[in-house]
């Protein structure tokens, strides 16, 4: 129970990687606040955490809306009086060739993946500076270390996450706050099912074949596709006191697809 007594807020935790992280940190002893834009999904995860004997509640907020973000953090402070770990997990992906990309496509991906991260990290930092302690953990991607065709706007957003993580770590270190990021690869979630289908249209591949093509680069466990639980293992470490001396890092957890 290495997170016993800790309070964690996770954005985009109603399903996929966020849900996997939430359940793992609850199993580690944390009380976990579940954010999502879908209240039904968020409530389901909160109930799963409560069933593990931890405190949890769901809060709907659009991470790109500063008023909603600030209200969410105010609610966490009112309920628990502190925030130990903030996980910027919310994000979206979108497949489109650059020459076909609309301005709105670029703006949507960048707004959710970068502005949303900024607003939540800012709100978390204000609370953690008062405490002189805390951990901010951002969701980057292997696309924050190497570019992927047909995902240029997603790639740009994740490079931004890596840079922001480094800069914020330098700003907050003197307050006892660490800032790190986790960089998943090809994870078996609804997001990657959508990416698979949309990329398949460009590449002339049937459903399932694009993911298999990416997974040819996996070098662990016979090409086993990554699960949310695999990602959660790394986040569990970053959220714990074991990672107190680590900050400004963006760590790949991708089965060896990218090594940098």
Query: Per the domain annotation, does 199 fall within a domain?
Result: no
pLDDT at 220: 67
Give me the phi and psi of 152, to 5 degrees please.
-65, -45
Note the pTM of the prediction, 2 decimals.
Answer: 0.95
Q: Which two tokens stand for residue 252?
A: 């790949």
Whether pLDDT at 150 is above 80: yes
Q: Which long-range contacts (CB under 8 A, 24 or more apart) does 51-56 make?
A: 52/23, 52/26, 52/27, 54/26, 54/29, 54/30, 55/31, 55/80, 56/22, 56/26, 56/31, 56/32
Residues labelled as active-site residues: 154, 158
Query: Per the domain annotation, does 258 fall within a domain?
Result: no
Whether pLDDT at 243 is above 80: yes
Query: Per the domain annotation, does 111 fall within a domain?
Result: yes
What CATH number does the domain containing 84 carry? 3.40.50.720
Query: Per the domain annotation, does 92 fall within a domain?
Result: yes
Where does the pLDDT of residue 180 fall: very low under 50, low under 70, confident under 90, or very high at 90 and above?
very high
Where does the pLDDT of residue 208 fall: very low under 50, low under 70, confident under 90, or very high at 90 and above?
confident
Query: Per the domain annotation, does 27 fall within a domain?
Result: yes
Query: Per the domain annotation, does 97 fall within a domain?
Result: yes
The number of domains in the chain is: 1
Query: Per the domain annotation, does 203 fall within a domain?
Result: no
Query: Per the domain annotation, does 153 fall within a domain?
Result: yes
Range of the domain at 56: 7-185+227-253
């Amino acid at each position: 129970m290495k997170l016993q007594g800790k309070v964690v807020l996770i954005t985009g935790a109603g399903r996929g990687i966020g849900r996997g992280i939430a359940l793992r940190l609850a199993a580690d002893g944390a009380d976990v606040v579940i954010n999502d834009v879908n209240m039904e999904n968020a409530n389901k995860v909160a109930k799963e955490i409560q069933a593990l004997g931890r405190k949890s509640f769901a809060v709907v907020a659009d991470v790109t809306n500063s008023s909603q973000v600030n209200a969410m953090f105010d609610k966490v402070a009112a309920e628990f009086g502190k925030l130990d770990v903030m996980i910027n997990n919310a994000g979206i992906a979108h497949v489109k060739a650059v020459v076909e990309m609309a301005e709105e496509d670029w703006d949507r991906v960048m707004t959710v993946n970068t502005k949303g991260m900024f607003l939540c990290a800012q709100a978390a930092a204000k609370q953690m500076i008062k405490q002189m302690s805390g951990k901010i953990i951002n969701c980057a991607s292997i696309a924050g270390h190497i570019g992927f065709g047909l995902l240029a706007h997603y790639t740009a957003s994740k490079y931004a996450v890596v840079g922001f993580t480094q800069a914020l770590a330098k700003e907050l270190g003197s307050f006892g706050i660490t800032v790190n990021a986790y960089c998943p690869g090809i994870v078996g979630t609804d997001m990657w099912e959508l990416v698979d289908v949309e990329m398949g249209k460009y590449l002339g591949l049937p459903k399932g074949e694009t993911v298999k093509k990416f997974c040819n680069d996996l070098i662990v466990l016979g090409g086993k596709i990554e699960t949310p639980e695999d990602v959660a293992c790394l986040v569990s470490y970053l959220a714990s006191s074991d990672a107190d001396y680590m900050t400004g890092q963006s760590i790949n957890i991708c089965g060896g697809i990218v090594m940098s």
